């Protein structure tokens, strides 16, 4: 059941958003870099791709305010900043309360909605108890007690600050886009995982980004344009979505709706194509523009209209970076993430392209527990360099944010991968952790399809345990040394094998599960690994397994030869 949302009085103004269109466009192409060459590229000494551009944060945004625990002085300072912000036009803020039932599961959806409604009613009454014109939100959440308001007067600010909500959070900053091939598929062991049944079939991968070109061949299934898209969602507000409401999940191809001043789905098309190339799961693209839109998009997935394994967020926002958790600074997203994970949906944010070793931006710094196993899987990127004595070496990309220990959970070979180009049928070589996030999200769907009882936290642990150690620093010279990253690069073949081993495999027989691993001399050097196997039940099954195994060995042998020669296989869309 989807909650009805209050109508908006008048037409939403977006002066403050449109004024940042140039800022967004500049950041867009700096975070997702096109490559024209066809071989892995070396980086400079500090690990930055030669054409990688960065757009520094130039605007300082207010952090969230604890409405019940802040001093009167702090509240006056916060109010002054918001009043000053009114000089640039109306803006969006979220007000809400902590979860009344933080451990509730998806099976309790109806009860969760009732409890949420009760808390929201209390907040709404406190905002309007002084009389005067009703101050209605532009969006009310269904499963967390929170609203999004468009503020246009100081009187409205006063009402919100005096409400019974626990927090107030500014959410009108832009959500900046961060900016595959059979080669990468072989590196992470995807063919072998497919052979074991981990293909993502029956699941969806959510992609919160800038929209999508549904006509791109990357999203075609069985000859149907957009056949890989289960549902297309617009969440850019009543003034922009085709149905005139904040969220449109009814208009066909709503996430492909094009409006001036944005990137016309270029970034979102690229990231979503990585997900479809790395899994047979379908996708649900959600078109967003600002941080408030991201929150509305996440709320859509809580309704669980379609089984969703993971939601990737290839964005960052805010002007502050953190050397640890920023969950308390972002209560709206903390509660959304907690609810999504409890409902069985993993969150996969991009770690960022700042190359930071100790700090993170939102949303990658948001956690709901131990960051190494809370179901929020921050995705970093690896790439490849060509060395004279050891061939192609996989290492952590120089621009990929490392962050505080434990916060960047998994790595994906996203430096120099092919991704779909919007408004055409071609592909470009690109780089960025924004492409790693959907790649990891696809592996969550693959793992989930092999065992649909796994929780997001369990999948995060399985993918970590099955991952490969990857060099973080590779110094060429007489003092050569290799330092391995704390996060592992995903190896879906090994992860699925370990998971199956514990539930369906026995110790009587073995089969070979070959996979291509790190080429840089890590403890998980490339070789054919032996794993415990399923006992074939009859002669026909044994012949089929043997035939399948020989085919996989030929595939891996071909990939190894390409790696030794320094060649990269050209990607063809599935």
Q: What is the spatial distance between Cα 156 and Cα 275, in angstroms, rounded to a whole number?
A: 42
Burial class (CB in 10 A: 0-12, 13-18, 19+), 239: middle
Burial class (CB in 10 A: 0-12, 13-18, 19+), 48: middle
As a residue count, the chain comes to: 574
Q: What is the spatial distance between Cα 416 and Cα 410, in angstroms, rounded to a whole number?
A: 18
SS3 (DSSP) at 391: strand
Query: What tokens were used for 142?
Result: 């269904």
Catalytic one among 434, 517, 522, 526? 434
Catalytic one among 166, 172, 209, 354? 209
469 is catalytic: no
- How distant, in Å, are the alpha carbons of 104, 243, 257, 269, 517 from that of 240? 34, 9, 9, 19, 46
DSSP 2: P
CA 49-265-413 angle, 5° bins: 35
172 is catalytic: no
Return phi, psi of residue 350, to 5°: -75, 140
Q: In three state form, how does the secondary structure of 174-211 look?
A: ECEECCCCHHHHHHCCHHHHHHCCCCCCCCEEEEEECC
Nearest residue to 172 (alpha-carbon basis) of 355, 323, 319, 351 = 319
Beta-carbon contacts of residue 305 (< 8 Å; ≥ 6 apart): 231, 249
Q: Quick one: CA dihedral 408, 413, 416, 419, positive or negative?
A: negative
209 is catalytic: yes
Q: What is the spatial distance between Cα 179 and Cα 267, in angstroms, rounded to a whole number?
A: 8
Catalytic one among 52, 253, 267, 469? 267
Q: Where in the sequence numbering do the catalytic residues fall?
A: 209, 267, 434
């Amino acid at each position: 059941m989807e909650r009805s949302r209050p109508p908006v009085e008048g037409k939403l103004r977006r002066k403050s958003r449109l004024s940042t269109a140039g800022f967004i466009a500049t950041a867009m192409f700096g975070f997702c870099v096109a490559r024209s060459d066809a071989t892995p590229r070396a980086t400079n000494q500090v690990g930055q791709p030669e054409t990688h551009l960065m757009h520094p944060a130039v605007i300082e945004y207010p952090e969230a305010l604890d409405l019940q625990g802040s001093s009167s002085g702090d509240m006056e300072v916060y109010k002054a900043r918001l009043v000053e912000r009114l000089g640039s036009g109306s803006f969006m803020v979220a007000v809400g309360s902590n979860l009344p039932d933080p451990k509730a599961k998806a099976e309790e959806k109806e009860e969760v909605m009732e409890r949420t409604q009760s808390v929201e009613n209390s907040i709404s009454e406190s905002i309007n108890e002084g009389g005067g014109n009703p101050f209605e939100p532009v969006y009310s959440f269904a499963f967390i007690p929170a609203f999004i308001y468009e503020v246009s007067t100081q009187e409205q600010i006063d009402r919100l600050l005096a409400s019974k909500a626990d927090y107030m959070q500014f959410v009108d900053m832009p959500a900046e886009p961060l900016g595959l091939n059979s080669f990468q598929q072989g590196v992470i062991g995807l063919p072998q995982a497919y052979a074991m049944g981990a293909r993502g079939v029956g699941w969806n991968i959510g992609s919160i980004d800038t929209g999508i070109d549904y006509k791109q061949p990357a999203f075609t299934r069985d000859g149907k344009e957009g056949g890989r898209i289960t549902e297309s969602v617009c969440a850019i507000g009543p003034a922009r979505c085709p149905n005139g409401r904040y969220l449109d999940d009814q208009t066909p191809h709503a996430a492909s709706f094009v409006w001036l001043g944005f990137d016309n789905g270029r970034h979102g098309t690229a990231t979503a194509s990585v997900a479809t190339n790395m899994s047979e799961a379908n996708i649900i693209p959600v078109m967003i523009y600002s941080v408030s839109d991201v929150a509305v998009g996440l709320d859509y997935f809580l309704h669980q209209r379609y089984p969703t394994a993971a939601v990737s967020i290839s964005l960052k926002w805010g002007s502050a970076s953190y050397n640890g958790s920023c969950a308390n600074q972002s209560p709206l997203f903390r509660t959304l993430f907690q609810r999504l994970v409890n409902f069985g949906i993993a969150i996969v944010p991009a770690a960022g392209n700042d190359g930071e070793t100790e700090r993170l931006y939102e949303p990658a710094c948001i956690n709901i527990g131990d960051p190494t196993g809370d179901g929020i899987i921050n995705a970093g990127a690896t790439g490849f360099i060509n060395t004279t004595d050891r061939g192609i070496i996989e290492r952590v990309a120089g621009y990929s944010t490392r962050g505080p220990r434990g916060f960047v959970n998994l790595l994906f070979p996203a430096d120099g991968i092919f991704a779909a180009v919007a408004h055409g049928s071609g592909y470009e070589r690109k780089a960025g952790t924004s492409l790693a996030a959907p790649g990891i999200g696809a592996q969550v769907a693959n793992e989930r399809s092999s065992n649909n009882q796994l929780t997001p936290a369990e999948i995060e642990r399985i993918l970590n345990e099955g991952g490969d150690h990857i060099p973080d620093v590779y110094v060429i010279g007489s003092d050569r040394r290799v330092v391995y990253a704390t996060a592992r690069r995903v190896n879906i073949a090994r992860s699925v094998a370990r998971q199956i081993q514990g539930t369906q495999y026995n110790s009587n027989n073995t089969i070979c599960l070959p996979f291509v691993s790190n080429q840089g001399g890590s403890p998980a050097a490339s070789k054919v690994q032996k794993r415990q196997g399923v006992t074939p039940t009859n002669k026909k099954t044994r012949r089929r397994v043997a035939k399948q195994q020989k085919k996989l060995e030929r595939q891996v042998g071909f990939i190894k030869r390409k790696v030794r020669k320094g060649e990269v296989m050209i990607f063809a869309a599935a």
